[in-house]
């Protein structure tokens, strides 16, 4: 209904547009026969082109994804379109791809640019007509409406919402924080960059790999199961039209597996490394290397992988490492006395939170280690996201909070922002939520000493040494 609405609005003013010496060209992402039927139905006599591979969409920096398309404003946009008689009879192409409107002069100057924030977000046709005037100024590269009012409202309301935790970590928190987002941040082309994402076959990892591929990056999905990884990779190829998505096998609970994977990756470039893989076992499991499973997957395995891929990362002109932690780490201090849970009664949730605290500390230490080589290292937490891991590992929490959980794409947004945007490399050794650096400690007893931080580093170096 939304593309019908936009095209109909332009169709109704097409004579005004042509009187200004311009022409309307519509680019869709469906099949040519669907586009022809669409034009006939709307009686649209402008140019209608098709781009099923979304090449022009990516080049224009248009947004996609469920988080972008399914915004809280969607019901209002849908009601407006339906009342105006715009009903979409069928959908072809990518249903999650958003559009935009551009006014381009013959010499290539851009005088108007509107990138839809969600389905049904269209510009006023009068604004398009104004941009056709001979006196309309050309936009500077990357220029866009900053949305100062929305950002100010978001920042003010966050002062009250964030201390409640629930209103910060939940989906309402993301929607509130996103008022401050600059849509230009992810108007980037990642062609030529190679991004490695662990745990990429589902949840946050899948959404991260999907978004990076959609921005043009070559993506390597590092998965424990090649079968599940390949199924996810095929879905990403289908959605993005990008063939540059591959799968490599790695089990972060096994040092041998990490070393084999790193050796296979050593001959190719590495620009981004995302430590996303995670788990929350119900009982204590010991790995073949003698480590508690959560510690191995969240801490020791990623530390070893970073160590082995560091030379490749250092060769990149813009290398990033992102550690995906959790807000649960706020309740825990750095555990050094019994990190393997040999002397304590096992608590899976506590073990998870402790290793997430360790990830934040390790990210800071790796930022120091790789800083002189130009590698930016940060950690983040995704808020409360509705992922398969949350549903299976903490079903009670999932059942209670499901109505307010973020989508996986919303949880992954800051991972993608840190990995891809220019703004994401302005800071290192920081901890982010919703594209903003946050404090790493809310409770005094969770603060670690510098000696504790060094002890964690030495422990990881000792455990992962051959």
Active site residues per annotation: 352
C-alpha distances out from residue 374 to 99, 318, 377, Å: 36, 7, 10
Closest CA to 421 of 165, 234, 211, 121: 211
Q: How far apart are CA 260 and CA 94, in angstroms?
A: 37
Which residue has 């409202």 as its token pair? 153
Cα angle 262, 267, 273; round to 5: 50
Handedness of CA 39, 42, 44, 48 (dihedral sign): negative
Q: How far apart are CA 349 and CA 344, in angstroms?
A: 13
Query: 178 with 72: CB under 8 angstroms?
Result: no
The phi and psi torsions of 368 (rounded to 5 degrees) equal -65, -45
Cβ-proximal residues to 276 (8 Å cutoff; 6+ apart), any chain:
197, 198, 199, 200, 204, 205, 208, 322, 324, 415
Helix (H, G, I), strand (E, B) or coil at 325: coil
Query: 348 with 281: CB under 8 angstroms?
Result: yes
Helix (H, G, I), strand (E, B) or coil at 417: helix
Q: How far apart are CA 292 and CA 295, in angstroms?
A: 6
Burial track 35-61 (b if 16+ CB lie within 10 A, e otherwise): beebbeebebeeebebbbebeebbeeb
DSSP state of 145: -
């Amino acid at each position: 209904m939304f593309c019908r609405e936009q095209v109909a609005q332009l169709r109704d003013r097409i004579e005004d547009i042509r009187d200004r010496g311009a022409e309307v060209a519509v680019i869709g992402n469906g099949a040519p026969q669907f586009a022809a039927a669409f034009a006939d139905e709307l009686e649209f006599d402008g140019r209608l082109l098709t781009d099923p591979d979304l090449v022009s969409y990516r080049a224009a920096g248009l947004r996609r994804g469920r988080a972008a398309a399914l915004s809280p404003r969607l019901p209002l946009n849908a009601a407006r379109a339906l009342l105006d008689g715009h009903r979409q009879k069928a959908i072809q192409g990518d249903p999650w791809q958003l559009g935009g409107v551009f006014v381009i002069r013959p010499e290539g100057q851009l005088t108007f640019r509107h990138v839809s924030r969600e389905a049904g977000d269209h510009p006023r046709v009068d604004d398009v007509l104004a941009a056709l005037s001979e006196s309309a100024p050309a936009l500077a590269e990357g220029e866009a409406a900053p949305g100062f009012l929305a950002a100010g409202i978001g920042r003010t309301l966050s002062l009250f919402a964030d201390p409640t935790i629930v209103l910060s970590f939940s989906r309402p928190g993301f929607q509130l924080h996103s008022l401050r987002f600059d849509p230009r941040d992810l108007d980037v082309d990642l062609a030529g960059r190679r991004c490695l994402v662990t745990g990429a076959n589902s949840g946050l990892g899948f959404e991260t790999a999907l978004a990076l591929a959609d921005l043009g990056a070559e993506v390597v999905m590092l998965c424990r199961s090649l079968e599940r990884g390949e199924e996810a990779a095929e879905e990403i190829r289908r959605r993005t039209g990008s063939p540059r998505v591959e799968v490599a096998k790695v089990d972060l609970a096994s040092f041998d597996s990490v070393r084999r994977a790193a050796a296979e990756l050593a001959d190719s470039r590495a620009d981004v490394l995302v430590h996303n893989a995670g788990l929350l076992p119900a009982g204590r499991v010991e790995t073949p290397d003698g480590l508690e499973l959560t510690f191995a997957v969240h801490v020791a395995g990623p530390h070893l992988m970073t160590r082995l891929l560091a030379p490749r990362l250092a060769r990149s002109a813009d290398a990033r490492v992102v550690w995906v932690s959790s807000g649960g780490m706020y309740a825990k201090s750095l555990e050094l006395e019994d990190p393997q849970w040999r002397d304590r009664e096992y608590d899976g949730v506590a073990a998870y939170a402790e290793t997430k605290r360790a990830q934040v500390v390790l990210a800071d230490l790796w930022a120091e280690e790789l800083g002189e080589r130009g590698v930016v290292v940060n950690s983040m937490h995704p808020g409360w996201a509705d992922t398969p891991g949350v549903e299976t590992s903490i079903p009670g929490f999932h059942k209670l909070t499901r109505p307010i959980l973020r989508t996986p794409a919303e949880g992954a947004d800051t991972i993608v922002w840190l990995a891809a945007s220019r703004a994401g490399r302005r800071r290192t050794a920081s901890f982010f939520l919703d594209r903003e650096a946050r404090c790493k400690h809310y409770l005094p007893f969770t603060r670690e000493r510098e000696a504790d931080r060094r002890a964690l580093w030495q422990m990881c170096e000792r455990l992962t040494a051959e």
